[in-house]
Structure 1
């Protein structure tokens, strides 16, 4: 978070980033997750989302789809939340 940036602006910035990834597949995974969860995330939660969104789309999509195991530096607990959210949306 940059100096002076409040949490409301940070959430808006992250929502935009989630919907404008560069690949439509990741837009459709992270965008709805952001819409549904940003308001409940505190600063630490936003840090976790931001760290995940700093990953490149191709490997991130493979992790979400279960095609590859994420490397050790990835917050797999938070990734599991994103995956569960995506799977719940698909099940509807």
Structure 2
């Protein structure tokens, strides 16, 4: 049985909050709270793919210490935009 959108949003929200590093918890919890419900299914797929990456890599991409891989660029840019408006 495939999960409902609501179940998927709750699952991704939980994954955003329990990353393993406090920095990523804070950044992704904020992003999740502000944007997750408004994302399209394709954008949720992209976010879920980003969550599958290593926290240290994601942090370096968001903090712009290293460029993000092209497949994650739009999502990382959106997270940076939300973080900058905080």
> Would you say how many aligned residue pairs link Structure 1 and Structure 2?
86
Cα separation, 2, equivalents of 1:71 and 1:41:
20
- Identify the match of residue 39 of structure 1 among 20, 37, 43: 37
Give the deviation of 1:78 after TM superposition. 1.6
1:8 aligns with 2:44: no
TM-score scaled by length of structure 1: 0.87
Can you give the 5+ residue segments of structure 2 that lack an aligned partner in the other structure? none
The list of structure 1 runs, each at least 4 consecutive aligned residues, that deviate by more than 2 angstroms after superposition, is: none
Higher radius of gyration, 1 or 2: 1
Aligned CA RMSD, in angstroms, stands at 1.1
Q: Distance in 2 between matches of 1:62 and 1:4?
A: 33
Q: Unaligned 5+ residue runs, structure 1?
A: none
- Distance (Å, rounded) in 1 between the aligned partners of 2:5 and 2:40: 8
